[in-house]
Amino acid sequence: MEGAVTPITGKPLLVRSMAQFSKIVVDKVTSLDGEQHNVMFISNNSGWLQKAVWSGDDGGRIIEELQLFKNPQPIRFLELSSRRGQLYSATRTAVAQLSVRDCSRYTSCADCLIARDPYCGWNRLKGLCAAVAGASNFSMIQNLIDGDATMCPSSHLSKQITDIHLTADVAQFLPCSPDTNLPISWSFSGKILEPGPRHILLSQGLVLTPSFTDEGLYTCETVEVVKGREHKKAVIQYHVKMSEVGGVNWFQAIVIYILASVCVLCVMLIIYVWWKKKPQNHVGSASVNYASTEQPEGKTESCSCGRVPGTKKTKPTRVKESSKSTV
């Protein structure tokens, strides 16, 4: 009893640094090819659960890490029901129930196969990752040896390409947040993007200070290496386009110039029409009319014609004079 208990494999089944395990349960799972696999569920004192599998070739490897409780606290109870496929855990203040056959967290065929989860396989008929228990080889795909994703049906990149317009020498952050803790890499127009003064690579994105030669397609990918084979999955893509100084490109400048020219022509036309309709002051003709109405000095004329139609008949005005005169 004083000696160390040596594993039957001659070495530890799983080694994790900076972790203190508290509870463990083991489930025997039959994969799609009929092989038996030991899947271990190990809790630690921070409320996290490691889902690991052991094989003679790879040793122990962690498939998944789950946070069962929001507040970090030691897990004091861990029990597995293999028949129901349920895992039960508890702390001093909370309990949790987890389905060990839940494969919905693998959202693509590549994720499903690369994870090499003995519980899960890709259902070719339904197009989703599902439990392999009771399924046939015809409807399911599973590869626990090297997670070869080339077995997946051919499909195009499902991630939508985001168009962004950047200004030269103005830094811009391009976020990339994968749903896993796998490392990420960036590529530019199909080539690996190396860090530099204009490209700062971060764990959550890329800081780009572009020039006019930096237009193109930027792709953020997760990278996973399985038995020397590198698997990449695109997370997000950006199509970077450069704008002119001030954010106005040549097309916008031409449109603005045309609109401004039309407005100037309209104003000039309005001024011309207004000037043509303005009444003119004919000074020469007015002076002639005044001159024609002047009477010669010393002469008085009267008209003995009948009354002009449309005028009112008035009495003649009599003026007393010292001498009689007849007009």
Are both 117 and 82 inside the same structural domain? yes
Residue found under tokens 């449109």:
255
CA-based torsion, 270, 273, 275, 279: positive or negative: negative
**Contact indicator for 80, 54 with CB cutoff of 8 Å:** no
144 and 197: one domain?
no
Per-residue pLDDT of 107-150, as tens digits, reads: 888 888 888 899 999 998 888 999 998 887 788 999 888 777 77
> 64-73, 153-162, 251-260: lowest mean pLDDT where?
153-162
Q: What is the mean pLDDT of residues 182-190?
A: 85
The CATH number of the domain holding residue 240 is 2.60.40.10
Last residue of a domain, one of 93, 118, 151: 151
pLDDT band, very low/low/confident/very high, at 304 (cuts 50, 70, 90)? very low
Both 138 and 103 in a single domain?
A: yes
What's the mean pLDDT when you consider all of the chain? Answer: 78
Last residue of a domain, one of 119, 151, 183: 151
pLDDT of 306: 46
Considering the domain architecture, whether residues 76 and 138 belong to the same structural domain is answered as yes
How many Cα atoms within 13 Å fall on the side-chain side of residue 103? 25
Instruction: Indicate whether 204 belongs to any domain.
Output: yes
Name the pTM for this structure: 0.57
Cα distances (Å, whole numbers) of residue 147 to 30, 116, 128: 17, 6, 16
Average pLDDT (84-106) is 90
Strand-strand pairing, 161-167 and 172-175: unpaired
Residues 90, 114 within the same domain: yes
First to last CA, the chain: 167
Count Cα neighbours of 242 within 13 Å in the Cβ-side half-sphere: 14
Q: Band of the pLDDT at 87, cuts 50, 70, 90?
A: very high
35 inside domain: yes
Q: 128: which strand partners?
A: 123
The answer on 168 and 145 residing in a single domain is no
Domain membership of residue 255 (yes or no) is no
* Strongest mean pLDDT among 93-102, 187-196, 236-245, 276-285: 93-102
Q: Is residue 281 part of a domain?
A: no
CATH code for the domain in which residue 75 is found: 3.30.1680.10
Residues 83 and 147 in one domain: yes
Q: Same domain for 35 and 131?
A: yes
Residue 297, domain member (yes or no)? no
Confidence category of residue 308, pLDDT binned at 50, 70, 90: very low
* Tally of domains within the chain: 2
- Per-residue pLDDT for 319 more than 50? no
Are 132 and 213 found together in one domain?
no
Read out DSSP for 136-169?
A: -TTTEE--TTT--GGGSPP----SPEEEEEEETT
Q: Both 227 and 122 in a single domain?
A: no
| Pair (147, 25) in one structural domain | yes
Residue-level length of the chain: 327
Output the pLDDT for position 40.
92
Enclosing domain of residue 195? 161-247
Structural domain includes residue 167: yes
280 assigned to some structural domain: no
Of the candidates 21, 16, 13, the one whose C-alpha atom is nearest the C-alpha of residue 38 is 13
Segment 58-83 shows an average pLDDT of 86
> How much is the pLDDT for 285?
45
Query: How high is the pLDDT of residue 155?
Result: 56
Q: Is residue 209 in a domain?
A: yes
- In the listed set 187, 219, 247, which residue is the last one of a domain according to the structure? 247
Q: Which of 66-75, 118-127, 291-300 has the lowest mean pLDDT?
A: 291-300
When mean pLDDT is compared across 20-34, 104-118, 223-237, the lowest value belongs to: 223-237
Domain identity same for 145 and 166: no
Report for 9-13, 75-79, 273-277, 282-286: range of highest mean pLDDT = 75-79
Are the beta carbons of 47 and 75 closer than 8 angstroms? yes
CB-based contacts of 71-74 (< 8 A; 24+ apart in sequence)? 71/47, 72/46, 72/47, 73/45, 73/46, 73/47, 74/22, 74/45, 74/46, 74/47
Q: Is the pLDDT reported for residue 312 higher than 70?
A: no
